Amino acid sequence: MILGTICCRGGSKGVPGKNLRLLDGIPLIGHTILQAKSSNFIDRLIVSTDSIEIAEVARSFGAETPFLRPADLAQDTSSKWPVFIHALEFIESQGQNVEYLVDMDVTVPLKQTIDIDTAIELAKSRPDVDVVITGYEPERNPYFNMMEILEDGYAHIVKKTPKPIVRRQDAPKVYSLSPAAYVIKKTSLYQFEHWSKANCLISPMPRERAIDIDTHLDFQLIEFILNQPKTY
């Protein structure tokens, strides 16, 4: 069984009320619910939230809200990993055996169902892999034009090579992670304390579909994109 989760807290400091803010005429959470419900692989879709209002909206779009998330898992400092385990164990307590958990973030509203399903297919095709994460090729590359301040106070290139890379095209390919979809093997949730400790693969997706809403500017950018005339 593949369990789809959408995790939304009631509080949002970057963009207050973000999860229910209207985008293209529907609440932000509605976009991800509709994308997930069109998946060819997700067997059950639930929303983990501490907000009664978010739960009501989620149900109106066809998602399940079988519980309200405990307050200790809905803080600003709460990690998602225990939230995933809580959701999985609740569903398994009802008699279902979950093989994969697929978490989809509402803050990436331009993702498409194919981005979710491609990540799931990759995970299913590689039993040696613990986690598959959607990602895109970023504008910046740590081998070429990203620097960090070290203890000596100077700025150093993040990833040094024996011979300096002078053309971006010659730098190793890197990916910026997108929370469009995290496909996690159930056993990995208990084997590792965080996805970064696991065997991971990237499922590439187009940059334009991977915009993540963290600020008002991000929201305005997505609204601008949605208002552009279609060229196809």
Q: Pick one of 3.40.50.1000, 3.90.550.10, 3.40.50.2300, 2.30.42.10 as the CATH number of 2-135+176-225.
A: 3.90.550.10
Residue 209: predicted pLDDT: 95
Residue 150: predicted pLDDT: 94
Residue predicted with more confidence, 74 or 12? 74
What share of residues in the chain are helix, strand, coil (percent, to 5)? 35, 20, 45
- In 93-199, alpha helices (H): 113-125, 186-191
**Residue 228 predicted with pLDDT over 90:** no
User: What is the residue extent of each domain of the chain?
Assistant: 2-135+176-225, 139-174
**Residue 38 predicted with pLDDT over 80:** yes
**Residue 114 predicted with pLDDT over 50:** yes
Question: What single-letter DSSP state applies at residue 64?
Answer: B
pLDDT tens by residue, 128-176: 999 999 999 999 999 999 999 999 999 999 999 999 999 888 999 999 9
pLDDT tens by residue, 173-197: 999 999 999 999 999 999 999 999 9
**Residue 229 predicted with pLDDT over 80:** no
Phi, psi values for residue 93, rounded to 5°: -65, -15
Measured distance CA(97)–CA(225) in Å, rounded: 40
Residue predicted with more confidence, 228 or 192? 192
Q: What integer is the mean pLDDT of 35-52? A: 97
Residue 232: predicted pLDDT: 46
**Residue 55 predicted with pLDDT over 50:** yes
DSSP 189-212: HHH-SSGGGS-EEEEE--GGG---
Q: What integer is the mean pLDDT of 7-29? A: 85
Residue 24: predicted pLDDT: 92
- Minimum mean pLDDT among 4-18, 70-84, 93-107, 178-192: which range? 4-18
Q: What is the mean pLDDT of the chain?
A: 93
